[in-house]
Amino acid sequence: MRTVALTVALSCLLVAPAGAQVVVEADGRGVASVSVGGTPYLTDLGVTVVKPGWSGELANQRKVDPAEVSIREEGATTTYIVPLRDPLPGVLIERVVRKPDEVRLEFEVIPDDGAELEAVVLGGALATAEHAGKTAYLIGDAAGDRGTLPARLDADHYILGGGQPDWVGLERPGAGGLRVDPRGDRIQLQDDRKWGSDHFRLMLLASGGEVLPRKPIQFGVALRAEEPGGLAKQAQAGAAGADARPLAIASARLDRDRVDVFGTVTLDADVHARYDNPFDPEQVAVDAEVTTPDGRKVDVPGYYHAPFRLERRDGGESLKPDGAPGFRVRYAPTAAGPHSVVLRAKDATGVVRSASLAFEAVPSKSPGFVRRSERAPQYFRMDDGSSYFAVGENVCWSGWRTPVGDYEAWLGALGKAGGNWARLWLAFNEKGLEWTPKPTPKAGIGSYQGLGRYALDNAWRLDEVLRIAEANGVRLMYCIGTYGEFKDGGFFNEGSWVSNPYNARNGGPCAKPEDFWTDPTARKLYKQRLRYLVARWGHSPFVFAWEFWNEVEPNPAVQAWTAEMAAYLKEIDPNRRLVSTSYGSPAIWNDRNVDFTMTHMYGTAGNVSDFTGRIASDTHAHLKFGKPYILAEFGIDWQTGDQKWDPKGVGLNMHNGAWAALASGGAGTAMLWYWDSYVHPKDVYRVLAPVRKFADAVDWARTPMKPIDGIAVEAPADGPETFADVTIPAAVDWGKTPSNRYRPLRDGTVQGGPIAMTLGSPTRATGELHSEVVWTLDMPKAGAVKLRIGEVSVAARLQVSVDGRRVVDRPLVTGEPGKGPWKSSRFVEPYKIWLADYDEDVAVDVPAGRHELTVANAEGDWMRVRSIALPSYRSSRFPDVDAIGVAGDDLMVLWIHDRRSTWRDPYDGPAPPRREGLTLAVPAASADVRRVEWWDTFKGTIVRTDEARPESGTLRLSPPPFERDLAARVVRAR
């Protein structure tokens, strides 16, 4: 052993399989440079200790005087002992360890005193002159971030990759690659041109927070040379999948010989076949034929998978390969008794079958899959006949650092509160299957492999999410895609056509987005993905439904596509689970293979305080299709989270939406959207618990019910009749409503709804919008009716007439922000048009008495009328209370709601006073005595029970005093 107190050069040579050498050269401080085969990769590789908040340095290896450094050599190890001075006295120990296949740099920072720090950073530079626009990078984890170090800085995307990967790879074209295996908290690769430097930087970050005196902080890297192209092969390990062996089933094994009815039995198979894409059933198809106890033959598709394990470290998650990929079949028996299974494998050379395998299904307490009820078609039932009323929210995607942990928290809290339904997106997030691999402008999360190949890490993660949901009693609706996949731009920059694998520019079959719906290759590839979804997750009763799309506007091509895909799903899904989509149309909702209807509902910038009327109108309109209806997205403001309007997390909008949906005839609650920014951090789940208790007391599946028309709410006369202003919001933001004629009543409700918001001109090429709406008014006195004008597309012409006499004729134009009378505007890039939001009231004087007010768009494209405000219209004889409900022969469900009880009163106003002395006059068909249970909607408890008998077709009820709202369950007294 010898100690040297002067600058030296240390070279460590390793030979890669193709002959490339990794060279590590360190100066007298231990600061290193790394090259492979003569190609420089990392320079100035050294340690910095960073102050909290990245506010400066506590120590920097590069600034140490080499004369103070001790260098010791012992065999294949060289050790640097680097003294650290104020403000962080201590020592840095660096060991350079030469091994046959790698060089390891091992570090310890040992402070003399305790300290607070942001991080200990081992960082090295990559010169832009050598690497910009040339060198590829790969992040060796399940997500597989990859790309080329950019030729020019993108200041908004200067972090190129990182996390907690197994390794990071760098490779110049034609040169050997450098693989860096980290040992520390996390890695980050970034473009330091963001701060005016002329290099990229690869950093290993270790520790952070408070460190103790003399307690070592340990970290390091292993450096390996790789043959050209070797890193890319490693990044795809277990994901690409290919085989060239003759067709054979080498083994087939069931994971159990006894399983509960509706439980899962798994068949793992070692299949040899000739294919280069294991997801393409025309190349290789592995399926099972199950014979049930009654002799039925059930075809169950199989799927290709790769096992992973979840590792949690330092506040993050990573997926690590955990075995060999292969083929698998999952099946859930629906009847007790003996079952037999034969595995079938097919490739281009033929078909082979396995010997018969057997298992026994035993009775269980599982209620099975969710179905449409035959007795009550607007509701759901389980296989055992019990009712299923959906209580839940959206939980569409998670954060990138801890996606499984996020779902453990969200679904755990939702299930604990009584939630039994949630909606997931399987678009290009951490649970998606198919997207363009990185680098691409709108990259997804996961190891995407391009068109027709699936991200197996994400599929494994979705397995975990489903397992978590099952454990918490939550059934999941899988929303497979979203409208943003076919657009560019968008309010949220959600347009992603540029990275859609179906885009011809990415090697897909579609030159333009609309080709997706008609192109035979695109339809074939989408069916392939449906087959994989059914094969991998179709076994579980906790997959509530397949939802094709989020918010794709229906047109004839979309409608035909939906019909084709819905029929295909019913053909290949052994359990024929529910199917739906959004948005729908009469053609879609009337399709026999589409099982339930859906809409989404939001306000804009807090313009709607009370959604009750809109929810009731939308629900009633959709019940006409004879199927269950779910309000599948809901929120105060489509532009921002409910936390803006409800910062205290009171949850009144979620509460009101849930009860309004239930009492209107919906098959579930109004499903709030803002799960990660509002519901979970503010624990608004508590809103759902009383709804679930009430819903469990109603036998929805066996009770055909219809909305009750004409419930009157009466209050004792108190002085002379007066009239209050009333504002009526439009309920349907796009499409024709069943009627375009509306009559506001003295109690503030409207006949003829739901109300259309968007008016299209008569010259539009498509006729999906009303060009005018007609309001039949009965004005107590003359006044100015105000129309709230919203967005205008391209141009429109507002014409308003009173009793046929035109009183407003106003062109509405659009353009750049600040260059017209509009409040704001935006350019829609895909269509090259301007949308302008006027957000303005147009006043129209209307005389006292009965009059018709006609609001029309005479020319141009389309415009929106968000609301109509009627002065001095609602009579004081009618309390400002909603009463809605549904009724069948033996059952009524009612909800009474003080209209002043909205998210607004905790936000900017006083709470409404206690209501008492009200009377409900409810139409009733029979004269039988009814038992009335009055429910506290915030506690989920019965507060009083009454008996009442209808007289002359009316059931008169006297609700107990209440604050905000009250529910009732009314049954025939026995």
pLDDT, tens digit (0-9, with 9 covering 90-100), for 653-693: 999 999 999 999 999 999 999 999 999 999 999 999 999 99
Residue 766, pLDDT above cutoff 90: no
Residue 93, pLDDT above cutoff 70: yes
Residue 2, pLDDT above cutoff 60: no
Specify the pTM: 0.85
Query: What does the pLDDT average to over 760-778?
Result: 93
The predicted structure's pLDDT at residue 828: 82
From CA 422, how far away is CA 399, in angstroms rounded?
A: 17
- How confident is residue 139, by pLDDT bands cut at 50, 70 and 90? confident
From CA 904, how far away is CA 908, in angstroms rounded?
A: 6
| Stretch(es) of the chain classified as CATH 2.70.98.10 | 3-235
CA distances from 172 to 132, 147, 439, 788 (A): 10, 12, 16, 60
Identify the CA nearest to 761 among candidates 746, 752, 772, 775. 772
Longest Cα separation, the chain: 109
| Stretch(es) of the chain classified as CATH 2.60.40.1180 | 706-713+879-972
From CA 747, how far away is CA 876, in angstroms rounded?
A: 8
The predicted structure's pLDDT at residue 13: 39
| Stretch(es) of the chain classified as CATH 2.60.120.260 | 721-875
Query: What does the pLDDT average to over 344-370?
Result: 98
- State the DSSP code for 30: -
Across 122-126, 165-169, 469-473, 595-599, least confident range:
165-169
- Other beta carbons within 10 Å of 556: 11
The partner residues of 306 in beta bridges, in order of sequence, read none
- N- to C-terminal Cα distance for the chain? 98
> Do 168 and 138 meet the contact criterion of CB atoms below 8 Å apart?
yes
Task: Tell me which amino acid residue 89 is.
Answer: P
The partner residues of 168 in beta bridges, in order of sequence, read 139, 180
**How far, in whole angstroms, is CA 690 from its chain's centroid?**
26
Cβ density class 22-55: b for 16+ within 10 Å, e for less? bbbbbbbbbbbbbbbbebbbbbbbbbbbbbeeee
Residue 3, pLDDT above cutoff 80: no
Residue 925, pLDDT above cutoff 90: no
From CA 829, how far away is CA 817, in angstroms rounded?
A: 15
Query: What does the pLDDT average to over 708-713?
Result: 92
The predicted structure's pLDDT at residue 19: 56
Query: What does the pLDDT average to over 619-626?
Result: 95
Reply yes or no on domain 243-362 having CATH 2.60.120.200.
Answer: no
From CA 226, how far away is CA 78, in angstroms rounded?
A: 24
Query: What does the pLDDT average to over 166-195?
Result: 91
- How confident is residue 240, by pLDDT bands cut at 50, 70 and 90? low
> Do 142 and 447 meet the contact criterion of CB atoms below 8 Å apart?
yes
> Do 787 and 865 meet the contact criterion of CB atoms below 8 Å apart?
yes
The predicted structure's pLDDT at residue 62: 96
Query: What does the pLDDT average to over 512-539?
Result: 98
Residue 12, pLDDT above cutoff 50: no
Task: Tell me which amino acid residue 415 is.
Answer: G
Three-state DSSP state, 172: coil
Across 237-251, 419-433, 621-635, least confident range:
237-251
The predicted structure's pLDDT at residue 233: 66
> Do 904 and 826 meet the contact criterion of CB atoms below 8 Å apart?
no
From CA 713, how far away is CA 336, in angstroms rounded?
A: 53
Indicate the pairing of strand 783-802 with strand 833-846.
antiparallel
pLDDT digits (tens, 9 = 90+) for 540-580: 999 999 999 999 999 999 999 999 999 999 999 999 999 99
| Cβ burial, residue 366 (10 Å; 0-12/13-18/19+) | middle
Given this structure, which CATH class describes domain 3-235?
mainly beta
Residue 605, pLDDT above cutoff 90: no
Residue 718, pLDDT above cutoff 80: no
From CA 508, how far away is CA 434, in angstroms rounded?
A: 12
Query: What does the pLDDT average to over 108-117?
Result: 92
E strands along 54-153, which residues?
57-60, 70-74, 77-84, 90-99, 102-111, 115-117, 119-127, 136-140, 146-148
- How confident is residue 239, by pLDDT bands cut at 50, 70 and 90? low
Element (H, E) at 233: helix 230-235
Across 309-313, 455-459, 855-859, least confident range:
309-313
Identify the CA nearest to 735 among candidates 917, 532, 885, 589. 589
pLDDT digits (tens, 9 = 90+) for 829-863: 767 899 999 999 999 999 999 999 999 999 999 99
User: Can you tell me which residue has the tokens 């959709």?
Assistant: 622
Give percent of the chain above pLDDT 70. 97
All residues at 6 or more sequence positions from 20 whose CB lies less than 8 Å from its CB, including other chains: 36, 37, 175, 176, 225, 226, 227, 228
The predicted structure's pLDDT at residue 305: 97
Q: What is the dihedral of CA 288, 292, 295, 301, to 10 degrees?
A: -20
- How confident is residue 96, by pLDDT bands cut at 50, 70 and 90? very high
> Do 631 and 599 meet the contact criterion of CB atoms below 8 Å apart?
yes
> Do 69 and 30 meet the contact criterion of CB atoms below 8 Å apart?
yes
Fold of 706-713+879-972: Immunoglobulin-like (2.60.40)
Structure token pair of residue 740 = 């375009």
The CA-based angle 140-143-148, given to 5 degrees, is 65
Identify the CA nearest to 205 among candidates 94, 285, 119. 119
From CA 205, how far away is CA 168, in angstroms rounded?
A: 14
The predicted structure's pLDDT at residue 719: 78
Query: What does the pLDDT average to over 939-965?
Result: 96
From CA 642, how far away is CA 653, in angstroms rounded?
A: 9
Query: What does the pLDDT average to over 709-721?
Result: 86
- Other beta carbons within 10 Å of 8: 16
Structure token pair of residue 229 = 């192209």
| Stretch(es) of the chain classified as CATH 3.20.20.80 | 389-702
Domain covering 389-702 in this structure, CATH number: 3.20.20.80
| Stretch(es) of the chain classified as CATH 2.60.40.10 | 243-362
> Do 547 and 517 meet the contact criterion of CB atoms below 8 Å apart?
no
**Backbone angles phi and psi of 113, in degrees to 5:** -120, 165
| Cβ burial, residue 840 (10 Å; 0-12/13-18/19+) | middle
Query: Edge-to-edge strands of the sheet including 941-948?
Result: 706-707, 881-887, 891-898, 965-972, 930-936, 941-948
- Other beta carbons within 10 Å of 641: 18
The predicted structure's pLDDT at residue 316: 84
From CA 118, how far away is CA 527, in angstroms rounded?
A: 50
Query: What does the pLDDT average to over 209-218?
Result: 88
Three-state DSSP state, 653: helix
CATH superfamily membership of 721-875: Galactose-binding domain-like (2.60.120.260)
How does DSSP assign 33-71, residue by residue? Answer: EEEETTEEEEEEEEEEEE-GGG--EEEEGGGS-GGG-EE
All residues at 6 or more sequence positions from 791 whose CB lies less than 8 Å from its CB, including other chains: 835, 836, 837, 838, 863, 864
Structure token pair of residue 619 = 């629900």
pLDDT digits (tens, 9 = 90+) for 780-808: 999 999 999 999 999 999 999 999 999 99
pLDDT digits (tens, 9 = 90+) for 14-64: 334 445 688 999 999 999 999 998 899 999 999 999 999 999 999 999 999
Query: What does the pLDDT average to over 332-350?
Result: 98
> Do 790 and 866 meet the contact criterion of CB atoms below 8 Å apart?
yes
- How confident is residue 144, by pLDDT bands cut at 50, 70 and 90? low
CA distances from 292 to 269, 339, 576, 595 (A): 21, 5, 16, 26
- How confident is residue 604, by pLDDT bands cut at 50, 70 and 90? confident
Tell me the torsion sign for CA atoms 800, 806, 807, 809.
positive
